[in-house]
Amino acid sequence: MIDLIAPQPKRKPDWLKVKLAHGENYERLKKDVKASGLHTVCQEAMCPNIGECWGAGTATIMILGDTCTRGCHFCNVKTGSPRGEVDWLEPKRVAEAVRDLGWQYLVLTAVDRDDLADGGAAIFASTVRMIHKLSPASKVECLTGDFAGDLDALDVVLGAQPEVLAHNLETVRRLTPTVRDKRATFDQSLAVLDHANRSGKSKFTKTSLMLGLGEREDEIEDAMDAARAVGVDIFTMGQYLQPTKRHLDVVEYVTPEKFERLREVGVAKGFRQVVSSPLSRSSYHAEQAFVE
């Protein structure tokens, strides 16, 4: 459990203050994204890296609606029941937008859809295939949930051969019951990553941690070791920021120096790529794994 008597930071430090995205190219993309009717996590999560990522031809799209069947204590996505509703035309719309907007690297993510028998795996797979068809040079990263441990559903996504299969541990083992929905477990997430790696159908596997929730440094290293043990290639770390007062408090604002030290630890453990900084998010610099 998080130590509730730990002193809470009073305000964000200077290293978390960033300039708002602006510029002619950004404004054009924002207008085009709105016209396409897509939900970008970049905008809805007010990601501080949006200008940099869009400028590099990278974006994160959320598919399968805006209502999640789970209630993680760090996430501000709406929780409820989508009642089995699925938009089967969504894969085509997303792929056309990727082509028209010239995105070279797309991260596909989604709300958890425990109301669907396959957890939404078919929509994931159809979207990946359609993007590969309309934009053969574009690479796709699928940032999926755990499909309630259903590895057959995961195989449906992997069958579309996304370049990266990502699934986030989110936090260290000890804090998982406090931070994540009760249906999500540390070991179940490791099983997803292990299966994805063993399948050989994605070039890379990837996971991410939020820091600042009360985790100890040795626990972070243990999470790294667990990820490496199941073959994870890419490991990212960023600062947890409280979306609203009803969400978990920030216990610590982790310094840039500590993030850099942890990056070096991850590199020494053998990850192909480690992205670690206060403003890093799971899709930040995602395309760089493919830079020779």
Task: Say if residue 176's pLDDT is above 90.
Answer: yes
Mean pLDDT of the chain: 87
Q: What is the mean pLDDT of residues 193-213?
A: 97
Q: Is 3.90.1170.50 the CATH number for 18-287?
A: no
Residue 239 is predicted with a pLDDT of 95
Helix (H) or strand (E) holding 55: helix 50-55
The residue ranges of every structural domain in the chain are 18-287
Task: Write the DSSP string, 75-123.
Answer: --SEES--TT---TTHHHHHHHHHHHHT-SEEEEEE---TTSTTTTHHH
Convert the pLDDT of each residue in 152-166 to its tens digit: 999 999 999 999 999
Q: What are phi and psi of 114, to 5 degrees?
A: -70, -10
Convert the pLDDT of each residue in 235-270 to its tens digit: 999 999 998 899 999 999 999 999 999 999 999 999
Which of 6-15, 225-234, 262-271 is predicted least confidently?
6-15
Task: Say if residue 118's pLDDT is above 60.
Answer: yes
Q: In the chain, what are the helix, strand and coil shares in percent, each to the nearest 5?
A: 40, 15, 45
Helix (H) or strand (E) holding 35: helix 24-36
Residue 44 is predicted with a pLDDT of 46
* Local structure of 206: helix, strand or coil: strand
Report the chain's C-alpha Rg in angstroms: 18
Side chain identity at 216, as an amino acid letter? Answer: R
| Nearest CA-CA partner of 184 in 229, 119, 121 | 119
Q: What are phi and psi of 170, to 5 degrees?
A: 75, -50
Rounded to whole angstroms, how far apart are CA atoms 229 and 38? 36
Convert the pLDDT of each residue in 136-153 to its tens digit: 999 999 999 999 999 999
Convert the pLDDT of each residue in 73-112 to its tens digit: 998 888 999 999 999 999 999 999 999 888 888 989 999 9
Residue 76 is predicted with a pLDDT of 84
